[in-house]
Amino acid sequence: MNPAIFLALASGTMFIAWWVATYNRGVRVHQHIRESRSNIDVQLKRRHDLIPNLVAVCKAYAIHEREVLETVVSARNQAVTSLQNLTSGYDDENQLVHAVNQLMTVVENYPQLKADSSYLALQQELVNTEDRIAAARRFYNANCRSWNVLRESFPSSLVVKGAPAFYYEVEPLALQVPTVGV
């Protein structure tokens, strides 16, 4: 076989192999983004399910703080709706975080509530959930970074096409690990 033909076939085969590998890597990273976004949504749903219980416990103690409690409930309902409809870039989550942080500030004025076992258990669950959301967010953002690098780097940008992935940048809840009778 002519060496020039062999070299051309080998080069063509290597190019096709590189193209397929790069394309498949892009598909894999894109699927990781979808999976990690889903993981965040699962943890946000968990948070959404805990908040009504927290509000119910706080209502008994913080009767004078009705407006704060209503704000939390309203923000939670909007966040749930946005998550179900996938209509939000997590903007409604920021509103929920602000409302719950405001509630946590109000709770500081009620020492009996801070010592209530139901409240402490719910606060611990929220702390655990926030840790899970943070871990899921880091995983998601790492996948977004991989996707963005892959689609913007040369020569992979010749193969991998698509919109840039946007990072998940929502504030965490300002929660503390509950302490019992210090």
pLDDT tens, 85-136?
665 667 788 888 888 888 888 787 777 777 778 888 888 888 898 889 889 9
Mean pLDDT, rounded, for 78-84: 82
Domain CATH code at residue 31: 1.20.1440.20
The pLDDT value recorded for residue 176 is 58
Residue 119 is predicted with a pLDDT of 83
Q: Is 176 a domain residue? A: no
* Predicted confidence band of residue 182 (pLDDT cuts 50, 70, 90): very low
Q: pTM for this one?
A: 0.76
**Average pLDDT of span 157-181:** 76
Tell me if 89 is assigned to some domain: yes
What 165-171 contacts at long range (C-beta under 8 Å, 24+ apart), as own/partner pairs, is: 165/33, 166/89, 167/140, 167/141, 168/37, 168/40, 168/90, 168/137, 168/140, 168/141, 168/144, 169/90, 170/90, 170/93, 170/94, 170/97, 170/137, 171/94, 171/97, 171/98, 171/101
What pLDDT was estimated at residue 118?
A: 82
Residue 164 lies in a domain: no
Q: How many domains does the chain have?
A: 1
> Within a domain: residue 19?
no
Cα-Cα-Cα-Cα dihedral sign, residues 37, 40, 42, 48: negative
> Helix 117-152 to helix 3-61 angle, to the nearest 10 degrees?
160
Q: How many CB atoms lie within 10 A of CB 14?
A: 10
Locate tokens 């040369």: which residue? Answer: 154
Nearest to 174, CA basis, from 102, 93, 116, 69: 102
What are the tens digits of pLDDT across the range 108-120?
Answer: 777 777 777 888 8
Task: Confirm whether 11 is domain-assigned.
Answer: no
137 is a domain residue: yes
Q: Is residue 30 part of a domain?
A: yes
The reply to whether 29 falls in a domain is yes
Question: Of 18-22, 102-106, 150-154, 159-163, which gets the smallest average pLDDT?
Answer: 102-106
C-alpha span between 78 and 151 (Å, rounded): 34
| Residue-range definition of the domain harbouring residue 122 | 24-158
Mean pLDDT of all residues belonging to the chain: 85
